[in-house]
Amino acid sequence: MAKLPLDSPRWGDLDGVSVEEVKEVLQAVASTVATGAGDDWREPWSRLLDGLLQQETLFSGAFAVLPHLVEAAAAAPGQFADLWADLGFMVTAEPAAPVPADLEAGFQAAVRSAEQAAVRGYLAAGTPAALCADLGLSCVALAGHHIGTLLWQRLGTEEDDLVLCCPGCESEQEITDFFVDPIRPPFEAPGLPDPMDARRGEHVWGEVAEALQEGALGEGWEPFVRVARAVAAAGVPAGTPGQAVVCLVAAMVAVKGTPDWAGRERARKLMLLTGGFRCPDCEQVWAIADCLAEDPDGARPLKEGGPTRRTGGSSKPTKPMRPTRGTATEAAVLSAPMSGVDEGVNALAVVSCPGRPTLVAAAGDTGTVFLWDAADGRPAHDPLAAHRAPVRSMTALRLPEGEALLAIGHEDGAVALWSPFTAQQVCAPVANWLGAVNGMCAATLPDGRTLLVTATPRGAVRLRDPRTGESVARLNPSGRPIESIAAIPVAPGHTLIAASDTQGDVQIWDPAVEDPWERGAAVPLSKRAREDLRHRVTLVATVSAHDRALLATGDRRGVIVLWDPATGDPVGEGLPPDASGGLLTAMTATTLPDRRPVLVTGNGRSLRVWEPETGTVQHLALDVAVTCLAATGSDLLVGHDGGVLRLPLPLRS
């Protein structure tokens, strides 16, 4: 395809890019292609993308970059799932200016080539379910279908509400409690696409049609998958109804999304977008997917709406609070006094400040944060609610001047900062398009600063000013997607940052050094020790034991290993797999008033309380699914699928 030479002075006329950045990305991509592995391309690509795509606006440099980038990455499409997803955002963004005439041919050729490469990347290997949904939408966006703009909706399928814009009268309506997991279809599948619209000639979508299995979503979903196969076999023509293309994307997630159960669940939720919606203003029935897409060219009212959704309805039952077994008489229910937190809780934090009561903060899918006084369990004040996107992480920060702040990370990437004792926002939520903020912690630096650390599943780890939320530095130069993050104090006023990535490895960085590639005081964990233990880490936490701060790592089986951050070697015997067989879902640590350190893990519907210095382990079975944990002194806070519990430590049978 036509490409602008890298030595051309024309690069100086283009916005959002420098040729040095392009060369760095191409070199990193070539290295990944040559070795067949590695994520070194992610960080330079993230920096380049920051300049090319801002606030849904695509700058002219992208038209010259894409031919180079697509040609390089297409040599090994399975290595670049994140890249193909990002290209979907780029081709559906609003250009700041028309494509320059001298770059148009190369850009259009790059889009056509990117479609082929993205589809082959999808077919190459399994992809995490959330990313697989973005990848599927990007594939259809690169094919030129309008439904690809659903990428910008950030459909995490965990939000409670869905705002629809009627393509006919453009009125906006809200459906509450939209996304549930429909084990069986709640309505009939849309009609098959017109075979006369099929794309002529050979195309890679035929391989997708062969990969889609009718039983992938479970019993009753076969008609939806047949629609998906027909759309793929036809090559995703631009005139295909949006409902049918959403069937295709959902089926793609069901087949390749990992783990398998998560792929199927997310696919069934996405299938809800194939239903009909009757606008209460103009009374026309539209596909829900078309009501979400921006400027849905080709959208037409449905002749047969079938079961439709009107605004204001709720399809998700409220979950009652359920008692625990074993310590039910000692458990305090924090969610009962406050309405709105009687459903799932995604994040917990404990805020401590000298001279003030310790507060417990909890939040879930509503985006509202509730605070209680940890001493008596009473509400501290009105809930904090300024950003409605679901909360994915929280952390407390103590600034050098003694002030306490609560940082909140949202599903849509926004970062909010509050003064928890006054219920005042420190600053407006800071946007971050690089993905949900799924991890947060505080970093103290030897120069006296305290910074907020945020992480996303797409590998963006940022150091932020706690007063403004703005990024001041980056970590994670490899760009690997992050699952969990923790701060490890290694000296007075100096913390290291540890993170688990989706490959099961642990990254450790020193935020005190300017160059993220420089290790500073960070020592990597012993690779041989992890391989000997077959320890694929999913969660990290810090525990004070054996007279120093240690890093605790946990894998899905519930195996816990302690590491010395000064040497990178294991400490002690660790904790074996959880006998209940539940997957590890949460981990926290605290020090009891008598100075005994404990580490608590949530494994499905059970808890384990481990004293690493004595080896004592307590096990508690619950009637709720543990989602997150926090602790303060002898109080353990348990976030679960129905609210928040407070339990005393150590547990008493």
Alpha carbon distance 629, 643 (integer Å):
12
Is the pLDDT at 319 greater than 50? The verdict is no
DSSP string, 102-131: HHHHHHHHHHHHHHHHHHHHHHHS-EEHHH
Q: What is the mean pLDDT of residues 623-643?
A: 88
310 has pLDDT over 70: no
| Percent of residues, the chain, with pLDDT higher than 70 | 90
Higher pLDDT residue, 178 or 62?
A: 62
Question: In the 8-state DSSP scheme, what is residue 437?
Answer: -
Lowest mean pLDDT among 80-89, 120-129, 590-599: 120-129
Contact 183, 267 (CB under 8 A): no
**pLDDT above 90: residue 540:** yes
Kindly tell me if the per-residue pLDDT of 335 is higher than 60: no
Mean pLDDT value of segment 314-332: 35
Question: Which has the minimum average pLDDT: 220-224, 277-281, 556-560?
Answer: 277-281
Q: Is the pLDDT of residue 322 over 60?
A: no
DSSP string spanning 131-191?
HHHHHHHHHHHHTT-GGGGGGGG---S--S-EEEE-TTT--EEEESS-----SS-SSPPPP
What is the model's pLDDT at position 337? 41
Question: Given this model, what pLDDT does residue 38 score?
Answer: 78
Tell me the DSSP string of 323-387: PPSSSTTT-EESSTTSTT-SS-EEEEEEE--TTS--EEEEEETTS-EEEEETTT--B-SSPB-S-
In degrees, to the nearest 5, what angle opens at C-alpha 483 toward C-alphas 479 and 487? 90
CB contact at 8 A, 217 and 254: yes
* pLDDT at residue number 295: 60
Q: Are strands 57-58 and 94-95 parallel, antiparallel or unpaired?
A: parallel
Which neighbouring-strand residues pair with 485?
499
Higher pLDDT, 166 or 386: 166
Q: How many CA atoms lie within 13 A of 8 on its CB side?
A: 13
pTM above 0.85, yes or no: no
Residue 272: CA atoms inside 13 Å, Cβ hemisphere, count?
19
State the average pLDDT over residues 268-273.
88
The pLDDT value recorded for residue 282 is 76
Q: When comparing pLDDT for 192 and 449, which is higher?
A: 449
pLDDT of res. 343? 62
CA separation (Å) from 157 to 21, 161, 402, 552?
Answer: 35, 10, 39, 31
Residue 549 has pLDDT above 50, yes or no: yes
Is residue 303's pLDDT more than 70? Answer: no
Domain ranges of the chain: 1-125, 152-316
Residue 103 has pLDDT above 90, yes or no: yes
- Is the pLDDT confidence value at 307 over 50? no
Mean pLDDT computed over every residue of the chain: 84
CA distances from 389 to 147, 210, 264, 320, 431 (A): 22, 37, 24, 23, 12
CA atoms 553, 647, 341, 578: torsion sign? positive
Quick: pLDDT tens for 386-439: 677 889 999 999 988 888 999 999 988 889 999 998 888 988 888 777 778 999
- The pLDDT tens digits of the residues spanning 1-38 come to 899 999 999 999 999 899 999 999 999 999 999 988 87
389 vs 488 pLDDT, higher one: 488
Residue 5 CB partners (closer than 8 Å, separation 6+): none
Output the CA–CA distances (angstroms, integers) from residue 650 to 328, 598, 605, in the order listed: 14, 9, 18
- What per-residue confidence (pLDDT) applies to 197? 73
Specify the pLDDT at position 56: 78
How confident is the model at residue 321, as a pLDDT? Answer: 27
Name the pLDDT band for 543 (thresholds 50, 70, 90).
very high
The confidence band for 298, taking pLDDT boundaries of 50, 70 and 90, is low
DSSP H/E element including 292: helix 288-292
Determine how β-strand 276-278 pairs with β-strand 308-309.
Answer: parallel
pLDDT recorded at residue 497 = 96
* pLDDT over 60 at 159, yes or no: no
pLDDT at 118 over 80: yes
Q: What is the pLDDT of residue 330?
A: 58
Q: Does residue 181 have a pLDDT over 70? A: no
- 156 vs 317, higher pLDDT: 156
**Given this model, what pLDDT does residue 4 score?**
94
Amino acid, single-letter form, for residue 414: A
Residue 364's nearest CA partner among 411, 413, 318 is 411
| Mean pLDDT of all residues in 358-364 | 86
Decide: 404 and 351 in contact? Cβ < 8 Å: yes
- Report the pLDDT value the prediction gives residue 154, as an integer from 0 to 100: 67
Provide the 10 A C-beta neighbour count for residue 283.
10
| Confidence band for 155, pLDDT divided at 50, 70 and 90 | low
